[in-house]
Amino acid sequence: MTILERGSRNTVTLLDIRLDSDVIILRGSAVEAAGAILKGVLTFCLQDSLAVRGIHLKLVGVERVGHEPATKSRSVKHEKVIYEKDWQFLDFEHDHKKSFVLGPGNYEYPFEQILPGSLPESVEGLDQAYIVYRMKATIERPRFSQDISAKKHLRVVRTLAPGDEALSSTMAVENIWPGKCEYSISIPAKACVFGTSIPLDVGIISLLKGLTIGTVTCALREFHTFSIPEKNTKKQDTRTIQTATYHHGGFQDMEDGTEKWVMHALIELPKSLSKCVQDCEASSIKVRHKLRVSVQLHNPDGHTSELRASLPVQIFISPNHLIGEDNEIHSVLPFDYSLHEVTAVPPVTMTISMIGCGMTSLTNTVHLYHQVQTLLRFCPATIHTKTSPP
């Protein structure tokens, strides 16, 4: 959404920054990603003649990192411009200090810029750091007259490349606890779409007569690393994104005649950036996620053992499940969606037409497709035993 600020609104009935897309999609890491084109039109409508000294458009990317140190010293804050681009739409041959009169009517100034694939992605929703991109259009007025400006928010999303290993790597812990059980804890892929859910599968074969399965507890943890190289400082912290406890599960017969206790669950992810941020490694901000699973095992002698596993999760923003201006997800993916459908960048066809002054028509067509494979990866589990009264 474009926000009009100040100036003579009776004369300028419309000042708008119209982009082919309000979201720039970069596929792959900063090393491998190709650039993307930012393209649009600066348009405004004048009811009467207006004296101007210039018409400008500016794109600025800003990174801010701030944190409280462990000691009682002053807080550390750092802000810098990481990208900047200016467009000048009136090239005056005469003295720029003099004004030029524009007559009534509709005005359009197209612009475009290739943004590098290494551009840091937008990071929004954290209390201590952010990376934001803002555009500002300005109609510069003569001296003693207020300039007229409009602002627009641009989001840069770095999504996974279609061949990224995280899309096809099953995260699993499979092992044997001697004399107690054989177990498997897994999620179908390391990658997970922001705002959806993580499917979890737990399977346990008892090797101890009388062993029963208790509750399964899951906690999704988010790990932050904020660094300011200019000040030689670094801070790490964590927060719990989601917790869930499951009591369901049941036995199924195996081909060899043994019984296996199985549980299937969906761990819902938040749909707001204020509660969860995508995995990223952008400039001075790094975010990672892990899913920690613990299973209670009730032994026949009365004490309780606990099986623990930690699975890495990579949360990414899908090009067809994007976040709105309010930093929340409003779209809904089909229940049976697959990762190959959400990693492809949709071709966008957009038509914009001006109907009179201040009225627009917008059409947006999106199509998606791709393909994914499945692999297995194993990582170690940790086992913890605690004693409880019989």
335-352 confidence digits (pLDDT tens): 556 665 556 545 443 333
SS3 136: strand
Closest CA to 372 of 339, 334, 344: 339
What local confidence, expressed as pLDDT, does residue 232 receive?
Answer: 81
Q: Which residues have CB under 8 Å from 256's CB, separation 6+?
A: none
What local confidence, expressed as pLDDT, does residue 365 receive?
Answer: 27
Q: Which residues of the chain have pLDDT under 50?
A: 345, 347-390
| DSSP assignments along 309-347, one per residue | EEEEEEEE--TTS-B-TTSBB-----TT--HHHHSSPPP
Separation CA 46–CA 9 (nearest Å): 9
In the numeric block, the tokens 């009517």 are attached to 105
What local confidence, expressed as pLDDT, does residue 71 receive?
Answer: 57
pTM: 0.81
Separation CA 158–CA 166 (nearest Å): 14
Separation CA 60–CA 132 (nearest Å): 8
Burial of residue 179, with CB atoms counted within 10 A of its CB: 0-12 exposed, 13-18 middle, 19 or more buried: exposed
What local confidence, expressed as pLDDT, does residue 337 receive?
Answer: 61
pLDDT tens profile 141-161: 888 888 999 999 999 999 999
The pair of structure tokens assigned to 20 is 């082919």
What local confidence, expressed as pLDDT, does residue 83 receive?
Answer: 96
Separation CA 200–CA 193 (nearest Å): 15
Chain-centroid distance of CA 213 in Å reads 37
